[in-house]
Amino acid sequence: MKRAEEGQAGALTMQKIAELAGVSAMTVSRALKSDASISPETRARILDIVSRIGYVPDATARMFASRRSGFVAALVPSLNNSNFADTVRGMEEAFGPAGLQLLLGDTEYSLSREEDLISALLQRRPEAIVLTGGVHTPAARQMLAKAGIPIVETWDLPKAPLDHVVGFSNEAAGAAMVHYLYERGRRNIGFIGGATNLDTRGSERRAGYARAVRELGLSRSRVVTFGKPPVTMSQGGEALDLMLKQWPEVDAILCVSDLSAFGVLMECQRRGVAVPQRLAIAGFGDFEVARCCHPRLTTIAVDCQGIGRRAAEIVLSALEAKKSGEVLPPETVVMPFEVVARETV
Amino acid sequence: MKRAEEGQAGALTMQKIAELAGVSAMTVSRALKSDASISPETRARILDIVSRIGYVPDATARMFASRRSGFVAALVPSLNNSNFADTVRGMEEAFGPAGLQLLLGDTEYSLSREEDLISALLQRRPEAIVLTGGVHTPAARQMLAKAGIPIVETWDLPKAPLDHVVGFSNEAAGAAMVHYLYERGRRNIGFIGGATNLDTRGSERRAGYARAVRELGLSRSRVVTFGKPPVTMSQGGEALDLMLKQWPEVDAILCVSDLSAFGVLMECQRRGVAVPQRLAIAGFGDFEVARCCHPRLTTIAVDCQGIGRRAAEIVLSALEAKKSGEVLPPETVVMPFEVVARETV
DNA sequence: CTGTTAGCGCATTCAC
DNA sequence: GTGAATGCGCTAACAG
């Protein structure tokens, strides 16, 4: 009850506030909850003391006592990517008002790092977890299954979802862009992507490219793989060099991302390759650079923030269901994507 | 119908593991700590059980009992910004191995939102807090002072630092670029920045511009403020329009960020304004787009990741000092910046 | 090396 | 509307 502490914030507890206010600690606890039954006068008096002496309640103790962490874990391949950053923002906007704190992890496009992060984050007892993509290590899948919390996989449509899904078919998106290029008269279509399969969404876009090329009866597929994700602008430029050396006849290039597409475009300008006359370029993601560059980049737009928002909404309703002992049946939300016709095709 | 009781990792406690292993809970606790004194055989036996039944220790309980949260809070103006994302990565690389989890907050360039976030994050009892910039609300300063934890302000050199600082003078950087433009023969130099003072680092760059223009005896300053931060590429293009209308004689433009500089560059290409012959363009931040665009953008480079790494190192040594009851004296690390001469000047 | 005791600061549950 | 008792899962401190 008495402690030999100095005036640090850490030394302040509800008990001290209670003593100052002449009430019990329980009453202070109620004063700090918005929906507790307490007389307005008592609450006002307590809140006044709290703000005057700068008491900050201890969330660690709260979550320990209430067995609710108030955390949601979210894993993204890269924080430094406009698309995923938008998805994170979408989640934050939905979780913040609900009093949930996002615990962010950056997998750096590595499944083993994802596994490590899942293991570390699960120790924080998140109430739900949001993942990017539908491919995970067996160990990760097992941990997630044992965790017994709502899971949302995003940015993809996994064949065997762990639980909920908010995504779209990257394969279909890749194919759609090839069809668009074909409609615009292109017949020698190439693809530029990463050199590894770490970016599973990128690999699916490439698979969609390959399928569409087959379906359309185009003579051959021209794939340049270059650089390890996250793909950079400069890598696009270098990949263009390889592409033109190997398949000089190429008249359209589909890139795994707007970033590499932009790199291709800039390299074309340096070399004097006319875009789109001699070479059409298409990207993916509708990054700001795609809307702003000259000529403007044809690309595929996805509602990144919407993915985050929908994922958060599913988490919130799953958590709501859990309160009454129910389990929300796995839900899959298919987000639309759209070919955005601009000037590079 | 699966009910809450199964599949719950939370149902497992150290006590259960202890019973299975025929030891006390304390011994299990020691087996899970790397530096505890415990016989190798006992540890091996316990770890085997732990991994077989998939027990995940409860970090919430651990931090509650040990009075160490394992959290470091970090606030950035925007996650969707390569520069700050790099700083975050620098911190993560240093904190991860030290067993510290980063709690990220996005202030969206708003001081009041920063205040809210500080208040929310302080509830999690972070062991230290890393801020961006040196301007904070009075309430925020008070909370931080009361928190009694190491504080690092980054990306700036505050006049009245709260504690530690890892930054550079944005004012000097702005001035340095004006001097560079002057050396290259430009005399009608303009500045494009945000319309608000929310981006305090941007405001300082503008102040540096104004000072340099005065020092060099240039006739007038030409400042276009446009858009609210985070500044976008497109805003750069729109600002160029305003600039050329108001001061058609302008022969060089310094932009608050590479992003707006890129927007200016692209707009020049659309209008047929020759860069750098008719108009020189300089940015700030050395974003990837600056290195990759055509012509390549002259800019100011800062070691963003290094800022994060140094901030983390200071936090780690402050925490180390705290163990022995000491307080690390406030330290200010001045990071270098560099004018990167490229093709737009 | 291992066990025992005693909480950490709060919320839950029940009294009143 | 308010208070008292109780314990969440773990670790610090000490004992053996």
What is the reported pLDDT for A11? 75
- In this predicted model, what pLDDT tens digit does every residue of A200-253 receive, in sequence order? 999 999 999 999 999 999 978 899 999 999 999 999 999 999 999 999 999 999
What is the reported pLDDT for B334? 98
What is the reported pLDDT for B292? 97
What is the reported pLDDT for B3? 33
Residue A2 — very low, low, confident or very high, per pLDDT cuts 50/70/90?
Answer: very low
Same fold, B66-169+305-335 and B170-301: yes
- Tell me chain A's radius of gyration from C-alpha atoms: 26
Three-class secondary structure of residue A299 per DSSP: strand
What is the reported pLDDT for A323? 83
Q: Where are the domains of chain A?
A: 2-57, 66-169+305-335, 170-301
A70 touches strand C (CB under 7 A): no
| Angstrom distance (rounded) from CA B43 to CA A327 | 37
| Higher-pLDDT residue of B176, B147 | B176
What integer is the mean pLDDT of A11-21?
90
Residue A5 — very low, low, confident or very high, per pLDDT cuts 50/70/90?
Answer: very low
CB B174 within 8 A of CB B186: no
- In this predicted model, what pLDDT tens digit does every residue of A286-306 receive, in sequence order? 999 999 999 999 999 999 999
| Angstrom distance (rounded) from CA A256 to CA A204 | 10
What is the reported pLDDT for A34? 84
What is the reported pLDDT for A35? 81
Residue B116: strand pairing partners: none
Q: Which residues contact A231 (CB under 8 A, 6 or more apart)?
A: A193, A194, A199, A202, A256, A257, A259, A260
Class of domain B2-57: mainly alpha
Homologous superfamily (CATH) of A66-169+305-335 is: Response regulator (3.40.50.2300)
Residue B2 — very low, low, confident or very high, per pLDDT cuts 50/70/90?
Answer: very low
Q: Which residues contact A9 (CB under 8 A, 6 or more apart)?
A: A54, A55, A56, B122, B143, B146, B147, B148
Instruction: Mark A192-206 as b/e (b = at least 16 C-beta within 10 Å).
Output: bbbeeebbbbbbbbb
CA of B329 vs C1' of C7, distance in Å?
A: 33
- In this predicted model, what pLDDT tens digit does every residue of B186-226 receive, in sequence order? 999 999 999 988 999 999 999 999 999 999 999 788 999 99
The C-alpha angle with vertex B81 and arms to A153 and B112, in degrees rounded to 5, equals 95
* Cα–Cα distances in angstroms (integers) from residue A253 to residues A135, A177, A344, B25, B184, in the given order: 27, 10, 10, 61, 39
| Angstrom distance (rounded) from CA B237 to CA B21 | 68
The whole-angstrom distance between B8's CA and the closest CA on chain A is 5
What is the reported pLDDT for B184? 97
- In this predicted model, what pLDDT tens digit does every residue of B273-329 receive, in sequence order? 999 999 999 999 999 999 999 999 999 999 999 999 999 999 999 999 988 888 999
| B window 227-256, beta carbon within 8 A of A | 232-234, 237
Q: Which residues contact A110 (CB under 8 A, 6 or more apart)?
A: A198
Polymer length of chain A? 345
Q: DSSP labels for B154-185?
A: ESS--SS-SSEEEE--HHHHHHHHHHHHHHTT
- Cβ pair A8:B232 closer than 8 A: no
What is the reported pLDDT for B71? 95
Identify from A293, A327, A344 which residue to disrupt to test chain B contact, counting B C-beta atoms within 10 A and taking the largest count: A293
| Angstrom distance (rounded) from CA A11 to CA A34 | 24
With a cut of 60, say whether residue A136 has pLDDT above it: yes
How do B189-193 and B222-225 pair as beta strands?
parallel
Residue A203, Ramachandran bin (φ over 0: left; ψ between -120 and 50: alpha; else beta): alpha
Tell me the average pLDDT of chain A: 93
Residue B35 — very low, low, confident or very high, per pLDDT cuts 50/70/90?
Answer: confident
Q: Model's pTM, two decimal places?
A: 0.92
Closest of B339, B244, B332, B322 to residue B286, by C-alpha: B339
What integer is the mean pLDDT of B97-104?
92
CB A262 within 8 A of CB A293: yes
- Cβ pair A322:B4 closer than 8 A: yes
Provide the token pair at B197: 């003072």
What percent of chain B stands above pLDDT 90? 88
- Residue closest to sugar C1' of D9 by CA: B61
Closest of B221, B217, B342 to residue B292, by C-alpha: B342
What percent of chain A stands above pLDDT 70? 97
| Angstrom distance (rounded) from CA A23 to CA A36 | 16
What integer is the mean pLDDT of B50-56?
89
CB A50 within 8 A of CB A13: no
How many other C-beta atoms lie within 10 A of the C-beta of residue A289? Answer: 29
- Cβ pair B9:A146 closer than 8 A: yes
Phi, psi dihedrals of residue A177, rounded to the nearest 5°: -70, -35
- In this predicted model, what pLDDT tens digit does every residue of B57-74 receive, in sequence order? 999 999 999 999 999 999
| Angstrom distance (rounded) from CA B328 to CA A65 | 34
- Cβ pair B101:A89 closer than 8 A: no
What integer is the mean pLDDT of B72-80?
96
Closest of B336, B340, B188 to residue B258, by C-alpha: B340
With a cut of 60, say whether residue A13 has pLDDT above it: yes
CB B159 within 8 A of CB B143: no
CA of B58 vs C1' of D5, distance in Å?
A: 25
What is the reported pLDDT for B325? 81
- Cβ pair A54:B143 closer than 8 A: yes
Residue B144 — very low, low, confident or very high, per pLDDT cuts 50/70/90?
Answer: very high
- In this predicted model, what pLDDT tens digit does every residue of A146-198 receive, in sequence order? 899 999 999 999 999 999 999 999 999 999 999 999 999 999 999 999 998 89
Which H or E run contains A73? strand A71-76
Chain-centre distance for alpha carbon A191: 24
What integer is the mean pLDDT of A64-85?
94
Identify from A14, A50, A60 which residue to disrupt to test chain B contact, counting B C-beta atoms within 10 A and taking the largest count: A60
CB B56 within 8 A of CB B74: no
Residues on chain A touching B69 (C-beta within 8 angstroms) = 60
- Residue closest to sugar C1' of D3 by CA: A24
Task: From the options 3.90.800.10, 3.40.1590.10, 3.40.50.720, 3.40.50.2300, give the CATH code of B170-301.
Answer: 3.40.50.2300
- In this predicted model, what pLDDT tens digit does every residue of B4-21 receive, in sequence order? 333 444 478 999 999 999
